Amino acid sequence: MPGRVLPLLLIAALTGGAAAAHAGTGRTIFPLRAPVTVDDVVPRGLDEGVALADGSVILAGPGRGAAIALAKLRRDGSLDPSFGDDGVTELPVATDPAMIGTTVEQVLSGPNGTTYVVADGPARTKYELQQLQVVRITADGHLDPAFGAGGVVEPGIEGSCGGCAPAAVMPDGGLVVTGNTGGFSPEVETNPNAADDMRWVIARLTAAGARDPAFGDAGLVTLSEPGGNGGTGVVAEPGGDLAVLGLTGRGSGGVLRRLTPSGAPAPGYNGEVPIVLGGSAFALAPRGDDGVTVLMSRGSLLRFDASGTQTLRVSVAGAAVLPGLAGSDVVIGRVDPNSTAQVVERITTVAADGTTTLRQSVPLPYGGGYASAFIVHRAPAVSPLAQTGLRPGLPVRRDDGSWVVPGALAVIQYTGEGTGFLRESAAASSLTADLRLDTTFGPAPPPARFAMALARQRARTVLSRRFIALNAQVSGPGLCLLTVRAGRSVIARSTAPVLAGGAQLLRVYPTLAGRRILARSRPLTVSVAGRFRDLWAGEATATVRGVLRGSR
């Protein structure tokens, strides 16, 4: 099965649009937990979310440890103090020890102000995929004791793909979840073609979290024979029918089916025969006419009406599909999560008549990113200051067609291959329906401030410890590009991580030429130029002169 898709979206032009009374920037940045430096190089923030009727959104992502993190933002981008602890919370869930944190697959709006979060839990054996778990949260951000075991239900289904949308809320408040049971044969270790015991299934839960006995066999419907199968998406129709998307034959073929509220094949839908899509498909979206849209892995979008008849096929590439306005579909592209560029991949709108409109990527103004890695035997590469530490998640569409894009934002310092530390925050951007930054959302960013002084140190000490020390006063987290010159020679240069505001020590790594100059061990007059860029992409500069003392 494929790994988790990281669709990163929708970034709007930074100009245009009428001025608003609220002086926001379309962005907000806030901590999900106590701000500390973490031994990790993968930031954890907010990946998924759901919009509520009042324009607020509930966003979720992996927590630190065995937990999921959530935040509720009001329409203007401020944290809702009635939710959790002043708008944010971390809730305990089971986490697979073989994985880095808990992956949130989906967030759904439930009955009576509740919210469902579908997340990956531990796999039962090494031959099975991760078990799905469903968490229900009350309107004030706590685990709902009326659902399952203290707010958590394990429906006994494995998640068949990462980054899919495997659940849907039924009109009566129940929940349906699709995935698979069974697993890989132990013989796969010696025979890659060994037969699998994976079966595509769908389960229905009552509003209390129990298996619904009126659905299939004690709440479970099996949709395939064994053999590398699994469910990847489900849509609950207003009348109670279910459109379900899955894979058969070791994930090689997409299949679309429609079921009645009891789990039986829907009469009249494609002659009660599953629709074979002719390729892999992992994304399914509802349409207002009881039809659905399927996004194929190889770059096609298919629409089907309520009878199962294909009404449209267009070529469009993307990683996720969401319902748009006036019968349109929105296809979201991918971005490299390790990219330091401030761009997000393209987004395509497919109108009701099949006309496609492509939006090319444009900048998203956040700071942070990767600092220069420390290298012992050669001068370190200088990371660009104009980068971003943002990892956007799947955008959330509000009823008025506007969007909120959640994300994780971090300053990252590598110390080795795959090792290092970071300081992380959550971030969210708001876009209007025509994909422009919404200036009614988020606060006015604080000004960036930066001052520095050369620490008292000897040239020989710099050479032995391999950095020049600067005492700095900085307004907040970000990156600082530092250059030290002796005369016309650049003797040290690096992009230093700024992990917090306030007083701190910054390190500038010597260049190869600088090492030779420092080795002379005589007093050295130097000038330092620094340019600081904070998480809001605001900048400040400072310069200072001083002396590196000789060996005596």
Return the HEC string of 290-314. Answer: CCEEEEECCCEEEEECCCCCEEEEE
The per-residue pLDDT for 467 is 94
Q: Is residue 402 part of a domain?
A: no
Domains of the chain: total: 2
On whether residue 3 sits in a domain, the answer given is no
Domain boundary, last residue among 308, 334, 364? 308
- Do 494 and 530 contact (CB within 8 A), yes or no? no
For residue 281, the one-letter residue type is: A
- Per-position b or e across 248-279, b if 16+ CB within 10 A of its CB: bebbebbbbbbbebebebbeebbeeebbebee
| In a domain? residue 80 | no
pLDDT by 10s per residue, the chain, length 552: 333 333 333 322 222 333 334 468 899 999 998 888 999 998 999 999 999 999 999 999 999 888 999 999 999 999 999 999 999 999 999 888 777 778 999 999 999 999 999 999 999 988 889 999 999 999 999 999 999 999 999 999 999 988 889 999 998 888 999 999 998 877 766 777 766 788 999 999 999 999 999 999 999 999 987 777 899 999 999 889 999 999 887 656 899 999 999 999 999 999 888 999 988 888 999 998 889 999 998 889 999 999 999 999 999 988 889 898 889 999 987 655 555 454 455 678 899 999 998 765 545 789 999 999 877 667 778 999 988 899 888 889 999 989 899 999 999 999 888 899 999 999 999 988 877 889 999 999 999 999 999 999 999 899 889 999 999 999 999 999 999 999 999 999 999 999 999 999 999 999 999 999 998 878 999 999 999 999 999 999 999 999 999 865
Cβ proximity of 134 and 153 under 8 Å: yes
Residue 455 burial by Cβ neighbours in a 10 Å radius (0-12, 13-18, 19+): middle
- Residues ≥6 apart with Cβ < 8 Å to 494: 371, 372, 380, 382, 482, 507, 508, 509
Residue 546 has phi, psi (to 5 degrees) of -170, -175
Per the CB < 8 A criterion, the answer to whether 3 and 61 are in contact is no
- What span, in angstroms and rounded, lies between the C-alpha atoms of 13 and 359? 10
Q: Which two tokens stand for residue 140?
A: 């004030």
- pLDDT recorded at residue 20: 36
Among residues 544, 462, 477, the alpha carbon closest in space to that of 508 is found at 462
Q: What is the pTM of this model?
A: 0.90
Residue 446 CB neighbours (<10 A)? 12
Query: From residue 463, how far is each of 31, 136, 381 by CA, in Å?
Result: 38, 57, 18
pLDDT value for 157: 95
Matching residue, tokens 């659902």: 147
Residue 330 lies in a domain: no
How far does the chain reach from its first CA to its final CA, in angstroms? 65
Are 356 and 349 in contact by the 8 Å Cβ rule? The answer is yes
User: How would you class 24 by CB atoms within 10 Å of its CB: exposed for 0-12, middle for 13-18, buried for 19 or more?
Assistant: buried
pLDDT value at residue 13: 26
Burial classification of residue 28, based on how many CB atoms lie within 10 Å of its CB (0-12 exposed, 13-18 middle, 19 or more buried) = buried
DSSP 397: E
In a domain, 192, yes or no: yes
> Rounded to an integer, what distance in angstroms lies between the CA atom of residue 387 and that of residue 437?
19
Pairwise CA distance, residues 195 & 198, whole Å: 9
- Is there a domain that residue 492 lies in? yes
The span from the CA of 340 to the CA of 540, in Å, is 20
Contact between 518 and 511 (Cβ < 8 Å): no
Which of 308, 327, 357 is at the close of a domain? 308
Q: Which of 308, 326, 346 is the last residue of a domain?
A: 308
Please name which of 363, 289, 355 lies closest in space to residue 316, comparing C-alpha atoms. Answer: 355
Per the domain annotation, does 6 fall within a domain?
no
Segments forming the whole domain that contains residue 263: 156-308
Residue 443 in domain: no
Q: How far is CA 450 from the centre of its chain?
A: 31
Quick check: helix, strand or coil at residue 78? coil
d(CA 161, CA 231): 8
The CATH number for 487's domain is 2.60.40
CA distance 468 to 236: 61
> 10 Å Cβ neighbour count for 140?
12
